[in-house]
Amino acid sequence: MDEQVIIEFSDFSFQYYSQAEPTLHEINLKIHRGEKVLIVGPSGSGKSTLGHCINGLIPFSYKGAITGSLTIKGEDTQKKDIYELSKWVGTVLQDSDGQFVGLTAGEDIAFALENDNIPPEVMHERVRKVAEMVEMHYLLTSSPFELSGGQKQRTSLAGVMVDDVDILLFDEPLANLDPATGKTAIEIIDDIHQNSGKTILIIEHRLEDVLHRHVDRILVMKDGRIIADRDAHTLVSSDILVETGIREPLYVTALKYAGVDVSPEISPGYITTLKAEVTQTALTEWQDKIQSPPAKPKKPIILSLEDVHFSYDGIHPILQDINFDIQEGEIVSLVGKNGAGKSTLSKLICGFEKLDRGIIRYYGEDIKDKTIKERAEIIGVVLQNPNQMISKSLIFDEIALGLRFRDVPEEEIQERVEKVLKVCGLSPFRSWPISALSYGQKKRVTIASILVLGPRILILDEPTAGQDFRHYTEIMEFLEAINQLGVTIILITHDMHLMLEYSPRAIVLAGGRIVGDTAASVVLTNDAIIEKANLKETSLFNLAQMSHIPDGTRFVQRFIDYDRSVRHQ
């Protein structure tokens, strides 16, 4: 046996007992000691299942039929239990909050040691050491409520490294992080790889963000098979990403738009390695050809906030000096790091919380006397997790709920629900149980159940969180269609792509104040705003700079305009 192979799948297939079809088909894969491998694939491609097989959750927690073999460090995993595997494979799950089991960071890091009956004195020493590696040693007594998303993720990482595992498995590590924190996470993972030589597996569909640092190999999964296994340069040069429904890096899209032949010769795998000298002419010529779309005519102001202030306890301000106007029919992104006040702002607009000072106007009229229920008829809010909104078992009843609360006659309910079902593309599912729907469809149901009340403004919290590119596009195209019908849309999001592609304007919050209210292309190319709000500059801007294009912001805006015109053809 080859000493260097640490994980080996041979003709490995897996079928969940609850599924009719196998989720993994005849996987053959060798991963070598010390390699850093990225596994990408759309939802349902089997990439998470592959991860579960490696860390032992399959078959320990999720039962199913296994054929073929999987060996880790030369031993058949079928003969090992999850506890033995956990000594070799450390897993960092995507929800850094949910997996935080301790009441403090120190306890959480110590969790595996506690279960190993390590004496407390030894444990404290090891926890301190490993916490230093991820720079959490000064926060060991903090509770999860006091830690940021990034700090919680560092804690989880320390919690698996404390066992000195051989393999680190990251299951969608970027899912709940703001852009700057996600970038740091990738840097930390890379530093650990460099310093410890551990084998690293990253499961993630956000390819471009992971490629902020070097990876040795990228596996592309689709329908339970590995359809590609290559390095970053050859992968982004091929058509595989587009065909599998994985978003290619934005700068690669820009190169393709400009007619540049994207091939391994120009090292396009990472923005930092790209040989920009060959792309400069093509990009400049392309940019000059793009026509800016005509400016939209001014529309009446539908929502305005004047001098809004808010705090929960009267001492610590959550929002200060909030002023902005939103025009009828706009799509606006509300961005900023966790805790910047984005959700609070949406709660104030919906009337869930009361302002300390200031005025919120709807078509010029102060809405302070409107109840939550009355406001819901003009401003609808859709929570991030559809499971938090769905309370009926049938789609029709779920959507009709708000109307039934308002004692609307049953005939009118029929009519209005049918209309919304049609708008949302849910008519064929009208009498389906909601439990049979996919995540994206459930999301549509929750949006439909709000739209049925006829709001003119829709506020959505992370509408595409956790969605792959295809579902992301589906949801966003749907929202654009709703917007075309005249509904003004406010998106609360961490997703820089979403902001660039779908919202011409972004309002940026940091520390409870507005630090930017301008075009998305300006926000994502402005260092000061990026730093204050934990954002990350777009790779398009880097591309412009590397190609010596003088006005990077204009280049980004041109890209957006062109991209939009291509999408709408």
Applying CB under 8 A, which residues contact other proteins?
Answer: 55-57, 60-61, 82-83, 86, 91, 93, 95, 97-104, 106-107, 110-120, 123-124, 127, 141, 144-145, 159-160, 163, 312-313, 347, 350, 352, 372-373, 375-376, 380-381, 383, 385, 387-391, 401-402, 405-406, 449-450, 453
CA–CA separation, 226 and 47 (whole Å): 9
Whichever of 324 and 439 has its CB closer to other proteins, that residue is 439
Instruction: State the minimum distance, in angstroms, from the CB of residue 94 to other proteins.
Output: 9
Strands 365-366, 379-382: pairing kind: unpaired
Amino acid residing at 460: L
Instruction: State the minimum distance, in angstroms, from the CB of residue 392 to other proteins.
Output: 8
Instruction: State the minimum distance, in angstroms, from the CB of residue 357 to other proteins.
Output: 17
CA–CA separation, 99 and 319 (whole Å): 30
Question: Residue 226, Cβ neighbours under 10 Å: how many?
Answer: 22
Instruction: Show Cβ contacts of residue 139 under 8 Å, excluding neighbours closer than 6 positions.
Output: 105, 131, 147, 151
Whichever of 120 and 293 has its CB closer to other proteins, that residue is 120
CA–CA separation, 41 and 441 (whole Å): 20
Long-range Cβ contact pairs of 269-277 (< 8 A, separation 24 or more): 269/211, 269/231, 269/232, 269/233, 269/234, 269/235, 269/236, 270/211, 270/212, 270/213, 270/214, 270/232, 271/211, 271/539, 271/542, 271/543, 271/546, 273/233, 274/543, 274/546, 276/543, 276/546, 276/547
Whichever of 152 and 212 has its CB closer to other proteins, that residue is 152
Instruction: State the minimum distance, in angstroms, from the CB of residue 232 to other proteins.
Output: 29
CA–CA separation, 33 and 167 (whole Å): 8
Whichever of 294 and 409 has its CB closer to other proteins, that residue is 409
Q: Which residues of 176-196 are buried (b: 16+ CB within 10 A; e: fewer)?
A: bbbbbbbbbbbebbbebbeee
Instruction: State the minimum distance, in angstroms, from the CB of residue 529 to other proteins.
Output: 29
Q: Where are the alpha helices (DSSP H) in 3-116?
A: 47-55, 57-60, 82-85, 105-115
CA–CA separation, 403 and 400 (whole Å): 5
Instruction: State the minimum distance, in angstroms, from the CB of residue 86 to other proteins.
Output: 5
Whichever of 46 and 380 has its CB closer to other proteins, that residue is 380
Query: In the beta sheet, which residues pair with residue 131?
Result: none
Whichever of 385 and 553 has its CB closer to other proteins, that residue is 385
CA–CA separation, 257 and 121 (whole Å): 60
Whichever of 67 and 387 has its CB closer to other proteins, that residue is 387
Query: In the beta sheet, which residues pair with residue 272?
Result: none
Query: In the beta sheet, which residues pair with residue 217?
Result: 37
Instruction: State the minimum distance, in angstroms, from the CB of residue 93 to other proteins.
Output: 6
Instruction: State the minimum distance, in angstroms, from the CB of residue 452 to other proteins.
Output: 9
Structure tokens at 294: 């005509």
What is the side-by-side strand order in the sheet with 36-40? 89-92, 167-171, 199-203, 36-40, 217-222, 225-230
Q: Which of 184, 191, 230 is nearest to 209 (CA)?
A: 184
In order, the DSSP letters of 368-407 are TT--HHHHHTTEEEE-S-GGGT---SBHHHHHHHHHHHTT
CA–CA separation, 235 and 219 (whole Å): 9
Whichever of 123 and 254 has its CB closer to other proteins, that residue is 123
Whichever of 91 and 333 has its CB closer to other proteins, that residue is 91
Helices (H) and strands (E) in the chain, counts: 23, 20
CA–CA separation, 172 and 94 (whole Å): 5
Instruction: State the minimum distance, in angstroms, from the CB of residue 380 to other proteins.
Output: 7
Whichever of 169 and 524 has its CB closer to other proteins, that residue is 169
Whichever of 297 and 314 has its CB closer to other proteins, that residue is 314
Instruction: State the minimum distance, in angstroms, from the CB of residue 208 to other proteins.
Output: 27
Instruction: State the minimum distance, in angstroms, from the CB of residue 250 to other proteins.
Output: 31
CA distances from 496 to 175, 218, 233 (A): 13, 23, 23
Instruction: State the minimum distance, in angstroms, from the CB of residue 152 to other proteins.
Output: 12
Structure tokens at 119: 């004496």
Structure tokens at 156: 């989880």
Residue tagged 């592609």 (tokens): 501
Whichever of 436 and 528 has its CB closer to other proteins, that residue is 436
Whichever of 323 and 387 has its CB closer to other proteins, that residue is 387
Instruction: State the minimum distance, in angstroms, from the CB of residue 415 to other proteins.
Output: 18
Instruction: State the minimum distance, in angstroms, from the CB of residue 245 to other proteins.
Output: 25
Whichever of 55 and 534 has its CB closer to other proteins, that residue is 55
